[in-house]
């Protein structure tokens, strides 16, 4: 599919144009220069024609190992993936020496370049910029306002020779589900079939990589794909956008998402960091498996446990990568301490898998992915209704629910209503009177007896409809 890279100096509106063409808010946008640091791609559509777009970091004249220099290398890597370049300049500030420098550089790249004069809301304000733009030697410029959607028709005509008719691309993120609240009557549930989210081998498994700042998330992603796909460095907070990368492992497609570090809420300052955290939250919500990276030198701190709790609350399959393991001397002590903290602080999930790794040296990456795939299988587990109800009769006989006003609170029926994570609905005589402790007993028994490891289990308590409910208030008297 035709791929278009959007490039230009910082703060000319590249990410705004990227979001406009993608049709959704994917890239973080702010007036601060240099917000975008890694390149990211997405599906785009313009007047019925589908193609791919790549958002890149702002081009600057830095060739060292500074953040700006690493951003430039990332942009050069993005250009290697593209078929054409959309070179964006700021129509309000006019042509700058940096624009001229990179226009000259682009002319040497031997690939089509389309010149865009952005922020062209006011024709009079950009007339001089349009005239000066010809001096860049990149052909006729296109006046555009990515913020307001002005000039997209002209952009389409410039792109039309390169576009194909394939408009079926998406970003791979679908958030499907069923309305569990609609299941409120046990009548006919013996034949009930729920709409499961089946594992489709043709679709990529979505894995988000999350954790505190500077624990090695980006280094891990690079180690997995064996490429310098995202920026890394000693500075905390390098990653800002959630960057999705396609990858193959044992003939299965994956979509790996590198995310910004998550600090304590009280320490999150500035608009950009808040947007970065929101982007990370979204990545967790749309993932299927979440690899939480922790630092072996300070494992499972309070913030780590807070992040793990959020992942579990979202119902995602959780695997923990214990990074920088090569720096640890007393390995057995660290493992024992981690096991204890997981059991005491993350009680809603049992047997969470954690794998010691070194992202820097690429060690144990294969073990990490095997753990992720095993957890993914548990996340997709499906149990038949017949087995569940035989199980229910057994656990009720062993430990009945507490009495309500001297009467038994019967467990009538159970069925699995959803996978991802395994979700069960149980019908009880008086659901409001079923204590939380007894619900935990049922959940733990489900996990134990059906060997559902490492993933959250959801238990929904329901009651049958009373067929005489509508007759209440009429005295219940028959005809005289």
Residue by residue, DSSP assigns 17-42 as HHHHHHTS--S---SSTT---S-EEE
Residues making up the chain, counted from first to last? 480
pTM as predicted: 0.69
With bands split at pLDDT 50, 70 and 90, how would you rate the model's confidence at 234? low
- Looking at the chain, the number of H-run helices and the number of E-run strands are 12, 15
CB 423 within 8 A of CB 450: no
Cis before 421? omega within 30? yes
**Cα torsion angle, 337, 338, 344, 350, sign:** negative
With bands split at pLDDT 50, 70 and 90, how would you rate the model's confidence at 177? very low
CB 283 within 8 A of CB 240: no
Mean pLDDT of 366-387: 93
Tracing tokens 């975008």 back to the chain, one arrives at 36
Tracing tokens 């300070």 back to the chain, one arrives at 298
Distance CA 305, CA 302 (A): 5
Where do the structural domains in the chain lie, given as residue ranges? 3-162, 180-194+382-462, 205-379
Mean pLDDT of the chain: 81
Distance CA 41, CA 50 (A): 13
Q: Which fold has domain 3-162?
A: Rossmann fold (3.40.50)
Q: How many C-beta atoms lie closer than 10 Å to residue 73's C-beta?
A: 15
Q: Considering only 266-275, 308-317, 325-334, 423-432, which range has the smallest mean pLDDT?
A: 266-275
Q: Is the pLDDT assigned to residue 13 strictly greater than 60? A: yes
Distance CA 131, CA 120 (A): 13
Point out which residues pair with 208 in neighbouring strands: 257, 290
Provide the token pair at 71.
């951003």
- 205-379: CATH superfamily: P-loop containing nucleotide triphosphate hydrolases (3.40.50.300)
Helix axes 436-449, 385-398, angle to 10 degrees: 130
Distance CA 171, CA 287 (A): 12
Domain 180-194+382-462 = CATH 3.30.499.10: no
Q: Considering only 159-163, 365-369, 411-415, 425-429, which range has the smallest mean pLDDT?
A: 159-163
Written in H, E and C, the secondary structure of 57-75 is CCCCCCCCCCHHHHHHHHH
Strand ranges in 271-365 using DSSP code E only, listed in sequence order = 289-295, 317-323, 353-356
Domains 3-162 and 205-379 agree in fold: yes
* Cα–Cα nearest to 218, from 81, 70, 78, 5: 70
Q: Tell me which of 179 and 13 has the higher pLDDT.
A: 13
Q: Is the pLDDT assigned to residue 67 strictly greater than 80? A: no
Q: Considering only 49-58, 261-270, 416-425, which range has the smallest mean pLDDT?
A: 261-270
Q: Is the pLDDT assigned to residue 300 strictly greater than 50? A: yes
């Amino acid at each position: 599919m035709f791929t278009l890279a959007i490039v230009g100096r910082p703060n000319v509106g590249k990410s705004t144009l990227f979001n406009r063409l993608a049709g959704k808010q994917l890239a973080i946008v702010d007036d601060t220069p240099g917000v975008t640091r890694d390149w990211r791609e997405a599906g785009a559509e313009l007047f019925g024609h589908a193609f791919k777009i790549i958002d890149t970091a702002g081009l600057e004249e830095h060739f060292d190992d500074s953040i700006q220099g690493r951003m430039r290398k990332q942009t050069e890597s993005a250009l290697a993936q593209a078929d054409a370049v959309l070179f964006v300049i700021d129509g309000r500030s006019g042509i700058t020496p940096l624009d001229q420098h990179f226009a000259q550089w682009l002319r040497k790249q031997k690939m089509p370049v389309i010149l865009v004069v952005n922020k062209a809301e006011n024709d009079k304000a950009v007339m001089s910029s349009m005239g000066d733009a010809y001096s860049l030697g990149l052909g006729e410029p296109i006046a555009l306002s990515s913020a307001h959607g002005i000039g997209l028709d002209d952009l389409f005509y410039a792109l039309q020779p390169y576009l194909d008719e394939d408009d079926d691309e998406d970003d791979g993120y679908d958030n499907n589900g069923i309305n569990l609240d609609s299941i409120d009557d046990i009548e006919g549930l013996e034949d009930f079939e729920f709409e499961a989210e089946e594992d489709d081998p043709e679709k990529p498994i979505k894995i988000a990589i999350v954790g505190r700042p500077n624990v090695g998330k980006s280094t891990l992603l690079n180690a997995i794909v064996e490429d310098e796909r995202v920026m890394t460095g000693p500075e905390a907070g390098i990653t800002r956008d959630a960057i999705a990368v396609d990858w193959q492992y044992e003939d299965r497609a994956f979509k790996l998402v590198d995310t910004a570090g998550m600090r304590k809420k009280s320490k999150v300052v500035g608009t950009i960091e808040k947007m970065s955290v929101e982007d990370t939250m979204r990545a967790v919500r749309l993932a299927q498996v979440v690899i939480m990276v922790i630092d072996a030198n300070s494992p499972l701190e309070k913030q780590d446990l807070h992040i793990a709790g959020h992942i579990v609350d979202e119902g995602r399959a959780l695997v923990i990568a214990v990074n920088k393991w090569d720096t640890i001397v007393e390995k057995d002590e660290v493992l024992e301490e981690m096991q204890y903290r997981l059991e005491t602080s993350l009680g809603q999930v049992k047997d969470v898998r954690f794998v010691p790794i070194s992202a820097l040296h690429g060690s144990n990456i294969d073990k990490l992915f095997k753990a992720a795939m095993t957890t993914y299988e548990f996340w997709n587990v499906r149990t038949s209704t017949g087995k569940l109800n035989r199980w229910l009769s057994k656990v009720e006989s062993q430990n009945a629910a507490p009495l309500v006003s001297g009467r038994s609170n019967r467990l009538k029926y159970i069925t699995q209503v959803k996978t991802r994570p395994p979700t069960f609905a149980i019908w009880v005589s008086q659901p409001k009177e079923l204590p939380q402790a007894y619900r935990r007993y049922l959940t733990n028994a489900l996990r134990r007896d059906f060997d559902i490891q490492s993933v959250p289990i959801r238990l929904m308590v329901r009651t049958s409809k009373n067929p005489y409910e509508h007759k209440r208030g009429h005295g219940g008297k028959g005809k005289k």
